[in-house]
Structure 1
Amino acid sequence: MKKPLVVLLTICFHFVCLAQEKPNIVLLFADDAGYADFGFQGSKEMKTPNLDKLASQGVRFTQAYVTHPTCGPSRAGLITGKYQYRFGYEENNVPTYMSKVSAVDGPEMGLPLGEVTVADYLKEQGYVTGFFGKWHLGGADRFHPTKRGFDEFYGFRGGARSYFEYTESPKEPLNKMEQGFGNFEEHNGYLTDALAQETSEFIEINGKAKKPFFAFLSFNAVHTPMDAKAEDLDQFPHLTGKRKIVAAMTLALDRAIGKVLDKLKELGLDDNTIVVFTNDNGGPTDANASSNHPLSGIKATHLEGGIRVPFLMKYPGTLKPGTVYGKPISTFDLLPTFYSAAGGNTKNLKGLDGVDLIPYLMGKTKGRPHETLFWKRDARAAMRKGDWKLIRFPDRPAELFYLPEDERELNNLADSEPERVRKMYKELFVWETTLERPRWLLKKVYERRDVERTDAFWPKYKPD
């Protein structure tokens, strides 16, 4: 009897060890940051030593895209692993000015309850899940992070708030700080630092308990309002105005990320933790003085500067440090990538548009993760097919660009490639016919504003 018992115990120990080897996952998510505003992206103005170090330890992606050029829809695509247009999440989720525009207004706008989130999937794999920071996926209680797969929440349900504590109730109630569900209490100090502290405590508790965890740290930095600490502003004496403030806010963002990464190292978890850093959309240069150089466009536009974002991934023992990946990916790839790393079989994921990136990054799967990518808002839309990009406008003919030779999108090739335009235009329309109608709509004045912003931040219309 002893030998079978020994064998059984050995097998059990083996499976326990395997369970403990599930990688922890930390997603660091910035808000409204400029494509160029990090040292690892070539900035000489910004000070981002912690992110620069992370870039040297993992993979830097040069053609990473979001699913939408504005906050709410971009988050909806990331957290569900699919185009949010498929479930009608096409317009922005901003409760403050939506009254009497749609059938669904204010806090009633949110991520449909039938959609499964990355947190739901990771909980199935035995993960403890925590969300820290800006939610912006629905203000009503039924949309709360703790009802969408997250065990813990510390942050605010809205889209933009002060970085310092409110002494009076904010004009928008969804921007009040909240611990868990319904426990509203303002933070102490500077919010970017506070979010890092809460995330670090979550990591420490679950790390010491040897429970695999998923921490989604969703900063509101560097979104407006332009709030910065005096000591951070002092680090940029050569800058002025909003550019000085966004530099200070970016420094605070990097410091907060460093605190989280240091906690992983302190606990001996950094060698078994996937760390991803990215951003929700292009920087809104007109609002926060962010830079998307060398790309044209800003937040809310379908130019590369509105939809291409910085993206880093560290996966010790799996991905080679200090490498660069140059094929197009999307933030909706994070869900299947995390799920697979957690031990899940991606064949069980139904209806997703994202793919597991790891086989591509390791060279096991050839080709591109995505041959075709789409973006849409109202009458505007864009499509990337291979290295060609088509942009459809509401006020002019569609334009075509060949990105390897023209990443600034200055040379419209539509006239010289009429057949390609015709085929891509038709494919874009066919894709649109598979989508749900938007669940809510912005006032038309905002769509006109964003078309004007496209031209204002496109060098072909505005000289450098």
Structure 2
Amino acid sequence: MTNLFQQTLRLTKVLSLVICAVALLPSAYAKQQKPNIVVLFADDAGYGDFGFHGSKIMKTPRLDELANDGMLFRQAYVSDPTCGPSRAGLITGKYQQRFGFEENNVPGYMSKNSGADGNDMGVPVNEKTMGEYLKQQGYQTAYYGKWHLGGDDKFHPLNRGFDEFYGFRGGARSYFAYSKAPASHLDLMERNFANMGEHNGYLTDVLADEAIDFIERQHKADKPFLAFVAFNAVHTPMDATKEDLAQFPNLTGKLQTLAAMTLAMDRASGKIIDALKALGIDDNTIVVFTNDNGGPTDRNASSNFPLSGSKSNHLEGGVRVPFIMKWPNKITGGSEYQYPISLLDLTPTFYGAAGGDSEKLSSLDGVDLLPYVFGKNTGRPHDVLYWKKDVRGTIRVGDWKLMRFPDRPAQLYYLPNDLKEQHDLAAAEPERVKQMFKQLFAWESTLERPRWLLQRKFENYDIERMDTYHQTIVDSKKETHLNLK
């Protein structure tokens, strides 16, 4: 009897331990499954300047590999065709015009009667950012590279939801160390709030190394993380290493430099992806590669083939950007998504992936893409998309796109049959034009007035650039670039 009692007691203890272990499993499982997030963000890259989009000039083997391993989005759009406003929309998940960030924030370019200038131009501090949303979900967050969302300390990444920052606050800077102080302190490299002196090496590579260091530290601490890597490549100035230039002996001028800069960005992206694999966390990491706006062909020789337009205008070449999302065992490698999405969608998508209830983010204009990517929702993430700067306004409803201008009648395009936007259907569709005009104005009526205004002459430049690149720079057989020296 005693032996039976002892056996029963032992069995009870074993069962108790098993029950305790099972009870702990859900929280441990949830922690294990919370994905890391890496954003690889290009600057001023051309839509056609990647192998996965058919380029025969650029060398992008690592990004091509990422596209093969993940999902390629064929119709990804920015909320503005220029750097600052596009980033403001991405980082908040809202159309940036809702909080007055309609114009680009480049100190010294503002109207004398502008409401804000210099360091005062930034995302309002009451707007919540991607970093803040993910910190709510227990993430460690870091931002590397070009910020361009406000120069004052109140706009600093460390005050906007990021635990670490290594980069510069302004919109452009040299890829090599400055030998003397630049004109603006916003061009200086910082580590967190401290001016840490100039970096050693080529900045694109340095940003990758810094991001890898962060990733390794968070992996060791067993914490989920967001690493946002905002390369300034391939924005001007046109800087490249001799070694990278040597990879393109048949090219000259800006095109050769662009190819070298693109190769460096591809290499840096590959190093970060390799680090994830080496740490054994690749399978539990979402990696997104995308770009802030269309390529400014006249400035950096980029190609937006097969699209018309360029940076700063609402033609497809200004607002449609490359976009890849990889999440092993969740997203089928080599797949494509055909419906339009927006970079506004990144914040709610990451929030949902991190375990948050994205349906409660009703104040955002972006949507959680995961139900669409996973096939649970077969509809369109966006039935309507908007763009606006000053008088210019554009609306896409379904596959119809209306563009309003200050100096000519509105134009209407049906994109499935006219990707290059060469056939204006406005005269043939007067009722549709009227309806879309009203829908665009109804949206505009909900927006804030711009907090600052560019000088008018820059609007003239944007119109001239649009007219120049409305005719896509291609011949009948192959893409061509402006060979600017």
| 1:280-332 deviations in Å (ceiling 9; x for gaps) | 00000000000001111000000000000000000111111101111100001
Shift of residue 181 of structure 1?
1.2
Of the three residues 130, 136, 152, the one matched with 1:118 is 130
Question: Conserved in 2, the CA contact under 8 Å of 1:72 and 1:93?
Answer: yes
2:149 partner letter? L
Distance in 1 between the 2:390 and 2:415 partners? Answer: 24
- SS of the aligned residue for 1:97 comes to coil
Question: Conserved in 2, the CA contact under 8 Å of 1:455 and 1:462?
Answer: no
Distance in 2 between the 1:182 and 1:439 partners? Answer: 29
Return closer, same or farther for 1:135/1:306 CA change in 2, 3 Å cut-off: same
Distance in 2 between the 1:235 and 1:461 partners? Answer: 24
Show the counterpart of 2:375: 363
Question: Does residue 30 of the first structure (1) align with residue 34 of the second (2)?
Answer: no
Question: Conserved in 2, the CA contact under 8 Å of 1:410 and 1:460?
Answer: no
Question: Conserved in 2, the CA contact under 8 Å of 1:20 and 1:210?
Answer: no
Show the counterpart of 1:100: 112
Question: Conserved in 2, the CA contact under 8 Å of 1:156 and 1:174?
Answer: yes
Show the counterpart of 1:289: 301
Shift of residue 103 of structure 1?
2.0
Show the counterpart of 1:248: 260
For residues 156-235 of structure 1, the aligned pairs below 5 Å read 156-235=168-247
For residues 15-94 of structure 1, the aligned pairs below 5 Å read 15-94=27-106
Distance in 2 between the 1:461 and 1:6 partners? Answer: 68
Return closer, same or farther for 1:462/1:129 CA change in 2, 3 Å cut-off: closer
Distance in 2 between the 1:365 and 1:405 partners? Answer: 26
Question: Conserved in 1, the CA contact under 8 Å of 2:60 and 2:266?
Answer: yes
Shift of residue 95 of structure 1?
1.4
- Please report the RMSD computed on the Cα atoms of aligned residues, expressed in angstroms: 1.5
In structure 1, runs of 5+ residues without a counterpart are none
Distance in 1 between the 2:365 and 2:274 partners? Answer: 34
Distance in 2 between the 1:272 and 1:462 partners? Answer: 41
Question: Does residue 277 of the first structure (1) align with residue 322 of the second (2)?
Answer: no
Shift of residue 102 of structure 1?
1.1
Show the counterpart of 1:406: 418
- SS of the aligned residue for 1:168 comes to coil
- SS of the aligned residue for 2:108 comes to helix
- SS of the aligned residue for 2:395 comes to strand
Question: Conserved in 2, the CA contact under 8 Å of 1:20 and 1:211?
Answer: no
Shift of residue 104 of structure 1?
1.0
Shift of residue 7 of structure 1?
2.4
Shift of residue 18 of structure 1?
1.4
Question: Conserved in 1, the CA contact under 8 Å of 2:78 and 2:321?
Answer: yes
Distance in 2 between the 1:461 and 1:269 partners? Answer: 42
1:331 partner letter? L
| 1:119-161 deviations in Å (ceiling 9; x for gaps) | 1010010100000000000000000000000000000000000
Determine which structure has more spread, i.e. the larger CA radius of gyration.
2
For residues 325-336 of structure 1, the aligned pairs below 5 Å read 325-336=337-348
Return closer, same or farther for 1:240/1:461 CA change in 2, 3 Å cut-off: closer
Shift of residue 19 of structure 1?
1.2
Distance in 1 between the 2:85 and 2:338 partners? Answer: 25
TM-score, with structure 1 as normaliser: 0.98
Distance in 1 between the 2:240 and 2:396 partners? Answer: 37
Return closer, same or farther for 1:356/1:461 CA change in 2, 3 Å cut-off: closer
- SS of the aligned residue for 1:153 comes to strand
| 1:147-201 deviations in Å (ceiling 9; x for gaps) | 0000000000000000001121111110100001133321101000000000000
1:448 partner letter? N
Question: Conserved in 2, the CA contact under 8 Å of 1:101 and 1:443?
Answer: no
Distance in 1 between the 2:201 and 2:134 partners? Answer: 32
Shift of residue 350 of structure 1?
3.2
- SS of the aligned residue for 2:412 comes to strand
Question: Conserved in 2, the CA contact under 8 Å of 1:228 and 1:245?
Answer: yes
TM-score, with structure 2 as normaliser: 0.94
- SS of the aligned residue for 1:96 comes to coil
| 1:350-377 deviations in Å (ceiling 9; x for gaps) | 3101111111112110210001000000
| 1:223-273 deviations in Å (ceiling 9; x for gaps) | 000000001001011111101100000000000001100100100011100
Show the counterpart of 2:427: 415
Return closer, same or farther for 1:99/1:447 CA change in 2, 3 Å cut-off: closer
Show the counterpart of 2:152: 140
Distance in 1 between the 2:378 and 2:53 partners? Answer: 26
1:161 partner letter? R
In structure 2, runs of 5+ residues without a counterpart are 1-11, 477-485
| 1:384-438 deviations in Å (ceiling 9; x for gaps) | 0000000000000000000000011000000000000000001000100000000
| 1:55-89 deviations in Å (ceiling 9; x for gaps) | 00000011000000000000000010110011111
Question: Conserved in 2, the CA contact under 8 Å of 1:133 and 1:154?
Answer: yes
Of the three residues 426, 445, 456, the one matched with 1:444 is 456
Question: Conserved in 1, the CA contact under 8 Å of 2:85 and 2:104?
Answer: yes
Return closer, same or farther for 1:332/1:197 CA change in 2, 3 Å cut-off: same
Distance in 1 between the 2:385 and 2:373 partners? Answer: 19
For residues 283-432 of structure 1, the aligned pairs below 5 Å read 283-432=295-444
Return closer, same or farther for 1:20/1:463 CA change in 2, 3 Å cut-off: closer
Distance in 2 between the 1:376 and 1:68 partners? Answer: 8
- SS of the aligned residue for 2:126 comes to coil
Shift of residue 13 of structure 1?
3.7
Distance in 1 between the 2:209 and 2:473 partners? Answer: 45
Distance in 1 between the 2:308 and 2:473 partners? Answer: 11
Return closer, same or farther for 1:361/1:86 CA change in 2, 3 Å cut-off: same
Question: Conserved in 2, the CA contact under 8 Å of 1:76 and 1:137?
Answer: yes
Quote the sequence identity (%): 63
- SS of the aligned residue for 2:470 comes to coil
Question: Conserved in 2, the CA contact under 8 Å of 1:29 and 1:280?
Answer: yes
Distance in 2 between the 1:232 and 1:463 partners? Answer: 28
- SS of the aligned residue for 1:242 comes to helix
Distance in 1 between the 2:381 and 2:354 partners? Answer: 20
2:294 partner letter? G
Distance in 2 between the 1:328 and 1:73 partners? Answer: 20
Range 306-315 or range 204-213, more displaced = 204-213
